[in-house]
Structure 1
Amino acid sequence: MQREPLLERLRTAPRWDVVVIGGGATGLGCAVDAAARGYSTLLLEAHDFAQGTSSRSTKLIHCGVRYLAQGRLGLVREALAERATLLATAPHLVYPLRFVVPVYRQWDRLVLAAGLTAYDWLAGRHGLGPSRLLSARETAAALPGLQPAGLVGGIACMDARFDDARLAIALMRTVFDLGGTAINYLPVTGLRHEGGRVAGVTARDGETGETFAIAARVVINATGVWSDEVRRLDDPSATRRLAPSQGAHVVLERRFLPGRDALLIPRTPDGRVLFVIPWQQHLLLGTTDTPRADCPLEPRPFAGEIDFILATAGRYLAQRPTRADVHSAFAGLRPLLGGAGGTAQLSREHAIDVSAAGLVTVAGGKWTTYRRMAEDVIDHAAGSAGLPPHPCPTARLALHGSPGAPCADGYGTDRAEIDRLPGATRRLHPAFTLSEAEVRHGARHEQAREVEDMLARRHRALFVDAPAAIEAAPAVAAILADELGWSARRTTESKEAFRRVAEGFL
């Protein structure tokens, strides 16, 4: 998957059926769906795949107990079905996970039990096992490290976790498996109009500056929190539709909660839930819901968000975490559909808009339902562009790397190929499993173009332990320089760019 042959496709293709702008969960899902239906498909991403929101989630493929409490039964049912689909089509990346809710008041136990019984009923054949009441002893055994004072019991329920950035890379690889094309670091700079209709895009190679005029029968705007900006390329008078919200997370050592189960705190002072999840041999804590008026590419957690997460978790953990215990802290922006009230009450559902000129924009949504969103989008896009109708096959489409059985490292069927590359046994830092061979594989087959691409998304080092990731950067840069033919100056620039980003995770 070398870059020059991909760019040559742009120079020589007369017209694409579908051009997707945006390489996050939604855009990648749309590209997979379009290619699976047989449409000639191109996806363009301004930065790296999943660099924004889609690599900064709470790592859950979940149905949202909170949505059930809000009465959003349709969203819960849809998420339950999509969770089952992902467990079947990407078993190397999506895993069942048991959550335990500790209870310190008997009344809360009754209320939660009633809610989770309804949840089990809604899940039906998509359920991963029934919820069950736990005694105080069973709860303490499931959550070693839990605050024992006043504990009266708990409730256990099943959901699923995943690696968001690795799933995005699997989707990108699936686009190619299906005959489509996806290219990162190639921002769209404008929309092309013919006869009053959107007929393609103009784009610029972020590495060389070369410009491309790309014709398309339909263009899909799947740029998440930046979708209003793309809509204004089509119609400068387009009004704002999104109300971005920031969600922050912190990462701690497993010693605070060393068991296999996740802790679910059912109600925080701001009315949300908080998760403490075993992930990447660490603990992931989050999330918050903070409105933002701006949409930076690299949002940073606010000091108050970090303090809120640590304080809330500290009320449930026997050992209270402090800022000194945080290995990494990160934030992501949610593309919520606008409305009245705080962002915690805004819709996580998606909406599709087709402009007068035919630009198809999808907004809202979440990782769990990305496939269903993509199906809706391509249905609209095909109808708008007059493409020949084809049914959506993605509900049973195994994603790239799927081994048909759980695979611990997320590479799936690619692991055998990685193990044949130079440096398969050479680990680049004692804090991580990342090997020289995995970096070479990222450059050759996963479009890793920067040190950050490898340490933040092809591997999750930056999200797990920011200081150690900074230490690993020179070794990663040297391997990428060998693979991509970098000069000494280009190598230094990539290392320094990574350091600047990593400082925001410290």
Structure 2
Amino acid sequence: MLEEHGVVEKYDVVVIGGGINGVGIATDASGRGLRVLLCEKDDLAQHTSSSSSKLIHGGLRYLEQGAFRLVHESLAEREVLLMKAPHLVHPMRFVLPHQPHLRPAWLIRIGLFCYDYLSRRKTLAKSRFIRFDPKTNPLKAEIVQGFEYADCCVDDARLVVLNAVQARENGADILTATKCIAAERKAGYWLVRLENNKKQIVEVKCKALINAAGPWVAKVIEDQIKENSPYSLRLVQGSHIILPQIYTENHAFIFQNIDQRVIFAIPYLNKYTLIGTTDREYFADPDHVEIHKDETLYLLDVSNRYFRKQHEADQVIHSFSGLRALADDAHLQPSTITRDYKITLSIDQDRQLPLFSIFGGKLTTYRKLSEQVLTQLGEFFPQMGPSWTEHQVLPGAEQWNGVEDLVYQICQQLPQISPQLAKRWALSYGTRIWQILHGASNSIELGAMLAPDLYAAEVDYLVAYEWAKNSEDILWRRTKLGLQFGPVEIARLDHYLASLSSETEQN
């Protein structure tokens, strides 16, 4: 392994960035027979890709901006991802309350008609007009009707991690806590310098360089590669708040706001309601993005305008923010900048050493974006295999018979654990859960319970196979248990991780 020996190795492709676009490209490329290295300066999905609205969707509001190509592609990919990762991607109904003073009903009907028919629907129902039951409606009494349509929800960070797992199983090297500090073209190859969090520096050679650094994409071009960025980058902050559960139904709401934006209210982890997102231009350090007080008040205002149940700022359980790294298209308002992605190519005079840079993109279209990058790479690697990702499932979806069947099997093997834990395992790991359980027939064989429903066996697996290094990686990106644990449980987990790290170093 590169990180063990510290020697110069040669790759076909080096990918910079461990968000959804980077891991998607690494997965596709490695599956076509290319030798791939991916480096990520922090953790997989640590930034934008774990700070989304957790949706796989076409983007209903993008129709108003005329982004028909993006919506069409997104809707088609929605069906693909339902097949590829049924343990992570799930159908969800979205309810759009009608407020006549914001958008007329005829305009919404046209938009939903286009949404229904821009792409062939295989599994999701078409939209419909609805009237709310005053006895069960969580919305204010004056809101009596609306529309309902279908999209999907997703565990965003796990979608990233499982793509990385698939890339590694295809032969790719995945290095987290490792940043690219320089890259330059030499005689017939790129020389890329990497530095890990222990300040160890190695150099690798490659033929093609992929810059999928998200909010840092322009900085990598200008500072590490010493070229001019083809686009000015606009960073748009999107923030979310998590509130106590506002309603119990398993559907989301999409609210129109007076500024013409839309805000989602989404059931989250069976206990909470996720409200988001904002659109706010961001000019500070991308490593330290946090929700602004005005954003919290903005989201609370929208929630309180629609729901009967009212909330104040001190009732916000948690918040998170991410940055959309968008190519500047000269729009004045952050909410109207295109969410479509752009793939740029910089090439040397001999057309041998390409640099591809990715601007924009969204969770829903990551696979298609990756496929388009590989199509362009074909000029430089004529020997590589054909496209393959559309019909290949992600890890955990092998021999998939549904969540209920897997939960039943887990409970049969481990009758001592709760159905709730079995369901969390099934939704997080799919059929890969059997690699964690290792034939265990009782909870004692899973090792110490480090926190409620978190056994050592699961932590061991995440460290060994999913690049988890600390409690934040595990609680906020691998398991989503961060909202449930307090300082005592986190300290116990940190202590256990430290002991694992010490054992690894001794061996």
Classify the TM-score, shorter chain: 0.7 to 0.9
Instruction: Identify which of 143, 149, 174 aligns with 1:182.
Output: 174
Instruction: Identify which of 244, 251, 263 aligns with 2:235.
Output: 244
8 Å Cα contact 1:146-1:257 kept in structure 2: no
Alpha-carbon separation, structure 1, partners of 2:230 and 2:69: 28
Alpha-carbon separation, structure 2, partners of 1:10 and 1:393: 33
Alpha-carbon separation, structure 1, partners of 2:374 and 2:387: 9
> Residues 15-94 of structure 1 correspond to what in structure 2 (within 5 A)?
15-94=10-89
**Correspondence 1:134 to 2:125:** no
**Match for residue 419 of structure 1?**
437
**Match for residue 145 of structure 1?**
138
Say if 1:59 and 1:10 are closer, same or farther in 2 by CA, change over 3 A: farther
What is the aligned-residue identity percentage?
32
> Residues 34-433 of structure 1 correspond to what in structure 2 (within 5 A)?
34-105=29-100, 108-126=104-122, 128-137=124-133, 141=136, 144-147=137-140, 149-195=141-187, 199-206=190-197, 208-232=198-222, 233-238=224-229, 240-254=231-245, 256-265=246-255, 267-281=256-270, 282-340=272-330, 341-357=332-348, 358-383=354-379, 385-403=380-398, 404-407=400-403, 408=423, 409-420=427-438, 424=446, 428-430=450-452, 433=453
* Count of aligned pairs: 469
8 Å Cα contact 2:8-2:203 kept in structure 1: no
Q: 1:218-265: CA deviations, max 9, x gaps?
A: 1110001100011112234446521010000011122x1221111111
Q: CA deviation at 1:104?
A: 4.7
Q: Please tell me the residue identity of whatever aligns with 2:319.
A: A
8 Å Cα contact 1:109-1:155 kept in structure 2: no
**Correspondence 1:461 to 2:454:** no
Alpha-carbon separation, structure 1, partners of 2:314 and 2:447: 33
Q: CA deviation at 1:386?
A: 4.2
Q: Please tell me the residue identity of whatever aligns with 1:413.
A: T
Q: CA deviation at 1:58?
A: 0.3
Q: TM-score, normalised by structure 1?
A: 0.87
Alpha-carbon separation, structure 1, partners of 2:358 and 2:292: 28
Alpha-carbon separation, structure 2, partners of 1:259 and 1:108: 27
Say if 1:101 and 1:91 are closer, same or farther in 2 by CA, change over 3 A: same
**Correspondence 1:443 to 2:434:** no
Say if 1:239 and 1:35 are closer, same or farther in 2 by CA, change over 3 A: closer
User: Tell me, which stretches of 5 or more residues in structure 2 are unaligned?
Assistant: 349-353, 404-422
Secondary structure of the residue aligned to 2:428 is: coil
Alpha-carbon separation, structure 2, partners of 1:34 and 1:347: 27
Between 1:98-107 and 1:373-382, the stretch displaced more is: 98-107
8 Å Cα contact 1:63-1:76 kept in structure 2: yes
Between 1:177-186 and 1:49-58, the stretch displaced more is: 177-186
Q: CA deviation at 1:112?
A: 2.1
Instruction: Identify which of 490, 494, 501 aligns with 1:473.
Output: 490
Alpha-carbon separation, structure 1, partners of 2:180 and 2:346: 18
Alpha-carbon separation, structure 2, partners of 1:168 and 1:100: 28
Secondary structure of the residue aligned to 1:391 is: coil
Q: CA deviation at 1:57?
A: 0.3
Between 1:476-485 and 1:412-421, the stretch displaced more is: 412-421
8 Å Cα contact 2:230-2:344 kept in structure 1: no
Q: CA deviation at 1:269?
A: 2.9
Say if 1:413 and 1:364 are closer, same or farther in 2 by CA, change over 3 A: same
Q: 1:302-330: CA deviations, max 9, x gaps?
A: 00001100110111111111112211101
Alpha-carbon separation, structure 2, partners of 1:308 and 1:16: 48
Alpha-carbon separation, structure 2, partners of 1:70 and 1:405: 40
